[in-house]
Copies of this chain bind each other. A is one copy, B any other.
Amino acid sequence: MAGIDDVARAAGVSTATVSRALRGLPNVSAATRTRVLAEAARLRYVPTPSASSLATGRTRTIGLLTPWVSRWFFANVIEGAERALRDLGFDVLLYTFDVRRSAVRRRVDPHVLRHRVDGTLVVGLGLDDDEVRSLVGLGRPLAFVGSGPADQVTVRLDDVATGRAATQHLVDLGHRVIGHVTGVPDRDSPWTPPVGRSRGYARALEDAGVRYDPSLEVDGDFDVEGGRASTTALLRARPDVTAVFASSDEMAMGAILAARDLGRRVPQDLSVIGVDGHDLGELAGLTTMVQDAYQQGADAALLLMEMIGGAEVPASLTYPTQLVQRASTGPPTQEGPAAAARGGE
């Protein structure tokens, strides 16, 4: 279709002038610019991205790396980031890396990103040091959302505080034997949310004078079924558990299902608290630590844009989290769990 030469010819100028005029660069007279713009519009001229990328080395594209798109946190971050990025004229290349225990995650290969993106956004993905290094080695701006190494630009919660507050809530209600459903810690880097939240969990227990017991922690794969399966296993192994803190709302809702499967009432026989503020949390009556994932995505995108623009940006943005108490948490009952353990199943 119409190329830059066509526009140049039609406007009676050189391609260089067309290029300058169209990109709003200086050194073009108002009259010339107007004429060029008019001709470009008339001919429906659109620059070929690969040509301009080849010439400039820039792509106006951001690579977005994430484990999943079908999980509340990730979907919302992606949506926020995509909107912000596109408003600023950037495209988003989406790359998923399934991270469940059952799956062997494909390694992040920076090669595919080289010459393809102007910057990279890593959303909730636990990378090992090599991967981070190679990403940094791309020499392009890099930002993390949800979790990231200490020396990288990161937008996230204070996971330790969040885990601590959630657990504290359970402690305040009188619980002492509290289980914890984490995400996918196996392959995790020390800086991922499950790790921080687990630390907060341990700390709150410590504050309460309760001994931290690793056997009370199970992996939930960050989804409903994972939360259900791991909570089921936990409750079978430890019928004395009266409350569970899950690292995400989806796993928390899985925990509620597990309780139901085992004939335990929530919250009388089992209290459950999650993290996220999932849209369906209210329906499930789920107590949770609410966060704004969409905004985190949008803010991270903005940070990345500023970095690309050469600006200095804060090393990290920490988002607040807010306890919303609903029906899934309450004080432990005397007869509850034990009775259920005897009578259940």
A interface list, Cβ under 8 A from B: 1, 44, 46, 48-51, 53-54, 59, 61, 64, 68-72, 75-76, 78-79, 82-83, 86, 91-96, 98, 111-112, 114-116, 223-225, 250, 253, 256-257, 279-280, 282-284, 294
Q: Are B83 and A96 in contact (CB under 8 A)?
A: yes
Nearest Cβ distance between residue A22 and chain B, in whole angstroms? 13
Candidate in A79, A83, A95 with the most chain B CB atoms within 10 angstroms? A79
Residue among A59, A86, A94, A224 with the most chain B CB within 10 A? A94
Q: Which of A54, A83, A250, A284 has the most CB of B within 10 A?
A: A54
Give the distance in Å from the alpha carbon of A111 to the alpha carbon of B46 in the complex. Answer: 7
Q: Is the CB of A49 within 8 A of B46?
A: no
Contact between chains at B46 and A114 (CB < 8 Å) = yes
| Bound CA span A44–B224, Å | 41
**Residues from chain B with Cβ under 8 Å of A250 in the complex:** 279-280
Which of B61, B114, B280 is within 8 Å of A1, CB to CB?
A: B114
For A70, list chain B residues within 8 Å (CB): 72, 75-76, 78-79, 294
> In the bound complex, do residue B223 and residue A279 qualify as a contact, i.e. CB atoms below 8 Å apart?
yes
Top 3 A-B pairs ranked by shortest CB distance? Answer: A50-B53, A70-B75, A50-B50
Cβ A79 vs Cβ B69 within 8 A: yes
* A/B interface sample: 7 pairs, CB < 8 A: A50-B50, A50-B51, A50-B115, A64-B94, A91-B112, A92-B95, A250-B279
Give the residue of B48, B82, B279 whose beta carbon is less than 8 angstroms from that of A96.
B82
Q: Is the CB of A69 within 8 A of B59?
A: no
Q: Measured between alpha carbons, how far is A92 from B86 in the docked complex, in Å?
A: 15
> In the complex, which residues of chain B have a beta carbon less than 8 angstroms from the beta carbon of A283?
224, 253, 256-257, 280, 283-284
Known contacts A54-B54, A79-B96, A279-B250: does B115 contact A48 (CB below 8 Å)? yes
In Å, the complex CA distance between A114 and B3 comes to 12
Q: Is the CB of A94 within 8 A of B116?
A: no
Q: Tell whether, in the assembled complex, residue A44 and residue B94 are in contact, meaning their CB atoms are under 8 Å apart.
A: no
Query: A59 touches which one: B50, B83, B253 (CB < 8 A)?
Result: B50
Q: How far is the CB of A224 from chain B (nearest CB, A)?
A: 5
Given contacts A68-B79, A82-B96, A94-B94, 12 further A-B contacts (CB under 8 A): A46-B115, A49-B115, A49-B116, A50-B115, A64-B94, A69-B79, A79-B96, A82-B95, A86-B95, A250-B280, A280-B283, A283-B284
Q: Name, among A46, A51, A280, the residue most crowded by chain B CB atoms within 10 Å (CB to CB).
A: A280
Q: Which residue from B44, B96, B225 sits with its C-beta under 8 Å from A111?
A: B44
